[in-house]
Each structure stands twice: as C-alpha cells, then as structure tokens.
Amino acid sequence: MGEDFEATAVQLRDAYSGSVIPPLRGALEPNDADGAYAVQAINTRFWETAGRRIVGRKVGLTAKAVQQQLGVDQPDFGVLFDDMEIADGGVIPSGRLIQPKAEAEIALILGADLAGPDISRADVEAAVAEAAAAIEIVDSRIADWKITFADTVADNGSSGMFVLSTARKPLAGLDLWTCGMALEVNGALASLGAGCACLGHP
C-alpha cells in the first residue's frame, strides 16, 4: 500500500504543471482519511526537502452543508507554504493555478505553539495573538472539481494560494461568532458569511 501512496503522491505533484488528473478512486476509497493524509504527508515532506517552508495550516469543509455534499462529518486539513502567500493588494499569478475559486476566511495568527491531541477552545484562544480577514484561493488538481473527501485531503486540502489582510485585531474582545464578512467581485456582492457558520465558531 505504501508504494500505491507514493505513486498517488507523484501523480498529484505532476498535476501542478497544469494538467488535471482523474479522481483518485483507484488508489483511495472516497472516505479513506488515513490513506489520504498519508499521501498528503508524502508530498509535504517532498516539498519541504525541496525548500518550501510551512507557514500555517488550513482547515476546510467547516460548513455542515459542504460536509453533507461529500458525505463526511469532519473537516479536512492542509498545510500553507510560504510561496502560496500573496501580499495584501497584490496580483495573483493565474498561471500557477488550474481551477481556482476564491473564499473569504478568518485567519488566526498564533502567538504561541499548539501541540497535543487534547487542545481545548481555551487553549486555542490563549495561543492566538491576532485575527485577520483573509482570502483563500482554493484549487484542485482533480478534473472538474469532482472530488471526494479523500481526493481533497490527498491534494493538500485543495490548496492554492492565500492573501492575509495587513489589518490585524487582537483576539481579546473580538466576537468571531457574530463577525460577518462580505466578498465582492468587481464591486458586486458575491457572498455573505459569518463566523458562526464555521462549525459553530472559528
């Protein structure tokens, strides 16, 4: 099985050249979380060895409606590399993306490390230094976004690029549960959201 995971990881890496690939049905069952994270870990190690630096983590599938679409009851996780960040006000290089989509997000900037399996909400709040508005540019190496849970996990959470606002706010006194966000495209409202939609609280 390890050789299959390696081959799947290479297949996903090669797709970054701009050619989409079919869903990973033959290598991973739709809800094979362990196998999918094993593939993701292989590519994460490969890219770190190649010089890319992890600067953050991403959490996806945080809305119940999206989880239901994929038939899962859990979020997915990926890593953010330094070369994925676009400066606030910068231009996104479209040539590095295949099937991009934009999502408005709340980013939490840590002031202290979090470690261990039993992390409480209080632990997270104590570790977070600031919150910022963010735009995540999700992308998929899977053709036509025909993804399962395993597809998106193996593909580093369908990661692409991200933009962090230079405006930061301390977490203390900030109500992220009711915090709202409006995403506009060329001055027209595209979507509305609130922190409470993220599995109850960001």
Q: Identify the pLDDT of residue 31.
A: 92
Looking at per-residue pLDDT, the higher value among 121 and 43 belongs to 43
- The more confident residue out of 87 and 175 is 87
Of 184, 156, 199, the C-alpha closest to 15 is 156
Cα–Cα distances (Å) from 124 to 73, 108, 109, 114, in that order, read: 22, 10, 11, 7
pTM equals 0.91
Residue 115 has pLDDT above 90, yes or no: no
Q: Is the pLDDT of residue 1 over 70?
A: no
Sheet of strand 85-86: strand arrangement: 85-86, 161-170, 128-138, 101-110
- Which pLDDT score, from 0 to 100, does residue 139 have? 97
Predicted confidence band of residue 145 (pLDDT cuts 50, 70, 90) = very high
Q: Are strands 85-86 and 161-170 parallel, antiparallel or unpaired?
A: parallel
**Euclidean distance between CA atoms 14 and 191, whole angstroms:** 33
Hey, where are the domains in the chain? 2-197
- Type and span of the H or E element at 116: none
Given the candidates 1.10.15.40, 3.30.60.50, 3.90.850.10, 3.40.50.720, the CATH classification of the domain at 2-197 is 3.90.850.10
What are the CA-CA distances from residue 48 to residues 33, 51, 149 (Å)?
Answer: 22, 5, 24
Q: Which residues contact 126 (CB under 8 A, 6 or more apart)?
A: 112
Identify residue 102 by its one-letter amino acid code: A
If one compares 199 and 118, the residue with the highest pLDDT of the two is: 118
Looking at per-residue pLDDT, the higher value among 191 and 51 belongs to 51
Cα–Cα distance between 161 and 139 in angstroms, integer?
8
